[in-house]
Amino acid sequence: MKLILLGAPGAGKGTVAKLLTAIDGSVQISTGDILRGAVQAGTDLGKEAEGYMKRGDLVPDSLIMGIMEKRLQEDDCAKGFLLDGFPRTIPQAEALKELLAKLDITLDKAVNIDVPKDIILDRLCTRRTCENSDCQAIYNVKSNPPKQEGICDKCGSKVIQREDETEQAISHRLATYNEKTAPLIGFYEKEGLLLSVEATSSDAVIEAVKKLSL
């Protein structure tokens, strides 16, 4: 299964990706996780990307495409992959199409998770993340808080509100998404690869993907 997951920040792409990879052994590729890891490790890529990410802006394509080419050739992608949060713009989608052709990889579907804006805002403003880049466990202060406030259940590291998940940053991210990323829905529809699912639960998205019989 080789899928792209589309949807606004907070639509549940990461959760859906984790559930799908558990079903068929494919690997989740999140450019966000790769970049955040690079920032924490203080690599050249991380330093370059950090300024963009703090502002809620998109990281330049040249940085992202280099990451993707390297990542898609790693052994664990042979069983399939889910691109979570990439591509984000039409130029990235076109560059990815060229890259996949170059690597002789065929994409199965682009799955769009359609969630109302008010639900997304509530989800993200109450979301907290483990600051340990090897863990990155996600919590929600309303629906899924850590057992001990501010401490990760899994690894004991500090649980934080990410700088890009304050209400101001989220509103900026949603505006950026609507301007630059939402047009991807039309792009993949024209390519004959779009599956759009209106759902607020991850289970509904999983069921729709299972029906593809990929």
Q: How far apart are CA 45 and CA 164, in angstroms?
A: 19
The single-letter DSSP state of residue 127 is E
In the numeric block, which tokens belong to residue 39? 């920032």
Set 2, 36, 123, 173: catalytic member: 173
Is 13 in the active site? yes
Q: How far apart are CA 54 and CA 56, in angstroms?
A: 5
Set 55, 71, 162, 180: catalytic member: 162
Is 71 in the active site? no
Is 162 in the active site? yes
Set 2, 36, 127, 128: catalytic member: 127
Backbone angles phi, psi at 147, to 5 degrees: -60, -40
Set 2, 88, 123, 128: catalytic member: 88
Set 2, 13, 36, 109: catalytic member: 13
Nearest to 15 by CA among 96, 158, 111: 111
SS3 at position 112:
strand
Enzyme catalytic residues: 13, 88, 127, 162, 173
